[in-house]
């Protein structure tokens, strides 16, 4: 009977701090989260209304002429995919005298460097105009090699530049389907293709990523292209007009999202962007939780840091309309890159479970119903939607931390770790060792909080919230188990550092 008595006295003990501390704080948190949820809901309704309008495409897409095109492939110790990436670039259907393949090799492993050299020589012997460029100073994230690559004299002969990361596989007709939009529309500075994932069915982690990115491409980028002729460049699978790139100031390494930085500066100069939903480029998704966490840190921290650096510049720009400024500052940056991450974690993983402990705080029913901020645009089976919601809440913890690091320019703001790639290693050999399991204490801590809230609701609560916190606690506890095999790369830490650090 003693343990039972101890449990029954728990609400009394919590009451000592509820009235003076928890109740006011939680009420303020509820109001802030409801405001942010409303912002996200209005954003989704607006996008839906825009998509309901008839689409008018006044772009010209003629197929006459073959301008000079530069194809850049930045790579760093890409042992598993270097041969594939160089091969698909050299296989693009374009006159051999009107294309230059530029391999920007920042590899530090001498074996891999030699392999890249021989692969370039092999294609050169077949008549392909291919150049392998290296740097003495590897500072500058991925912007560094791209910027240095544009300085070579032969680049002045080119009108457009196509960029592919090392694990991307464009179809042979990629240039034939993208370059005409630039050739016949002089106000278009960028044509962006969609990604297609070669390993989406590898594990649960890759399935969840596909659902999230499908929303990003189907709604975020297509909406931006249609409504504002603007969206964030994905850093790969796109073709730039070199004149637009140069007018925008070229590549800068002030943040870890150099691609988004360039896109915004070019847009502020008046250049328009086109997103081609039906042109797809194959790529590999991270299949380990560790690799995905590093990638999401960069994708969340970088935009927040860029917002801090560019918000004043955007506000005072005189070349774009006030409506476009509002779209970039409020919609593109504040709502999607900051609010969406914070409200997902704080509201659904902290505040709502916290009301179980503080029943004096009420949440309107419409508040939680605005979830999720980024709904999958496809219609997968119901069990995947449930897993997706739980997975997004787990990742919102890391995205929220990264967002604040970017806004405050804290310790890991300049961290760039190259995403692990498997390439042919996707076909795991029998008998290969399983990856080591790592305990992530932050996830375990949040999971313990949610589990406690769930148990408290079962014992003392009246709202029957316990099902959601319990499932979410389990998701936080086993988050690292949603990963596939580790990539057999020698090192995934990038040399891209500001000032060579």
Residue numbers annotated as active site: 106, 259
Q: What is the DSSP letter of 336?
A: I
Omega within 30 of 0 (cis) for the link into 311: no
Token duo for residue 199: 């390993």
> Using CA atoms, how far apart are residues 23 and 4, in angstroms rounded to an integer?
27
- CA distances to 53, 139, 402 from 300, rounded to whole Å, are 31, 22, 6
CA-CA distance, 354 to 487, in Å (whole number)? 39
Residue 201 CB burial class (10 angstroms; 0-12, 13-18, ≥19): exposed
Residue 143 near residue 258, CB atoms below 8 Å: yes
| CA distance readout (Å), 77 to 285, 380, 419, 485 | 18, 36, 11, 19
Query: What value, to the nearest 5°, has the Cα angle with vertex 378 and ends 374 and 380?
Result: 105
* Cα dihedral 202, 208, 211, 215 sign: negative
- State the Cα–Cα distance between residues 425 and 84, nearest whole angstrom: 12
| SS3 at position 78 | coil
Task: Find all residues with CB under 8 Å of 76, minimum gap 6, and list them.
Answer: 106, 107, 108, 166, 418, 494, 495, 496
163, 276, 174: which is closest to 225 by C-alpha?
Answer: 276
């Amino acid at each position: 009977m003693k343990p039972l008595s101890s449990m029954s006295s728990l609400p009394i003990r919590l009451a000592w701090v509820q009235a003076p501390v928890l109740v006011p704080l939680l009420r303020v948190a509820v109001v802030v989260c409801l405001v942010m949820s409303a912002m996200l809901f209005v954003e989704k309704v607006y996008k839906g209304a825009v998509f309901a309008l008839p689409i008018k495409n006044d772009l010209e897409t003629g197929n006459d002429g073959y301008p000079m095109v530069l194809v850049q492939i930045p790579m760093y110790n890409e042992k598993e995919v270097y041969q594939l990436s160089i091969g698909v670039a050299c296989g693009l259907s374009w006159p051999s005298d009107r294309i230059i393949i530029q391999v920007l090799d920042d590899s530090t492993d001498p074996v891999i460097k030699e392999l890249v050299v021989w692969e370039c020589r092999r294609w050169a012997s077949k008549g392909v105009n291919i150049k392998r460029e290296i740097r003495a100073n590897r500072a500058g994230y991925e912007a560094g090699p791209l910027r240095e690559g544009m300085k070579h004299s032969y680049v002045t002969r080119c009108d457009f530049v196509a960029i592919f990361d090392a694990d991307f596989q464009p179809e042979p007709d990629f240039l034939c389907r993208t370059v005409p939009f630039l050739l016949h529309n002089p106000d278009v500075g960028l044509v962006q293709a969609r990604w297609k994932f070669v390993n989406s069915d590898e594990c649960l982690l890759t399935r969840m990523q596909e659902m999230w990115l499908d929303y990003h491409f189907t709604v975020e980028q297509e909406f931006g292209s249609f409504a504002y002729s603007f969206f964030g460049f994905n850093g790969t699978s796109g073709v730039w007009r070199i004149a637009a790139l140069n007018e925008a100031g070229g590549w800068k390494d002030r943040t870890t999202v150099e691609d988004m930085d360039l896109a915004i500066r070019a847009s502020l100069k008046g250049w328009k962007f086109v997103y081609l939903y039906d042109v797809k480029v194959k790529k590999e998704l991270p299949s380990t939780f560790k690799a995905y966490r590093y990638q999401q840190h960069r994708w969340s921290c970088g935009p927040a840091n860029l917002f801090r650096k560019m918000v004043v510049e955007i506000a005072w720009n005189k070349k774009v309309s006030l409506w476009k400024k509002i779209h970039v500052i409020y919609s593109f940056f504040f709502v999607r890159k900051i609010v969406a991450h914070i409200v997902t974690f704080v509201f659904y993983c902290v505040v709502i479970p916290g009301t179980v402990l503080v029943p004096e705080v009420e949440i309107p029913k419409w508040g939680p119903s605005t979830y999720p901020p980024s709904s999958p645009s496809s219609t997968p089976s119901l069990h995947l939607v449930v897993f997706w919601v739980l997975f997004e809440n787990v990742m919102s913890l890391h995205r929220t931390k990264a967002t604040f690091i970017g806004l405050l320019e804290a310790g890991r703001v300049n961290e760039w770790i190259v995403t692990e790639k498997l390439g042919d290693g996707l076909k795991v050999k029998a008998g290969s060792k399983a990856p080591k399991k790592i305990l992530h204490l932050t996830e375990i801590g949040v999971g313990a909080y949610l589990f406690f809230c769930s148990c408290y609701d079962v014992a003392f609560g009246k709202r029957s919230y316990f099902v959601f916190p319990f499932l979410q606690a389990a998701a936080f506890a086993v988050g690292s188990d949603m990963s596939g095999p580790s990539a057999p790369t020698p090192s995934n830490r990038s040399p891209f550092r500001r000032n060579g650090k």
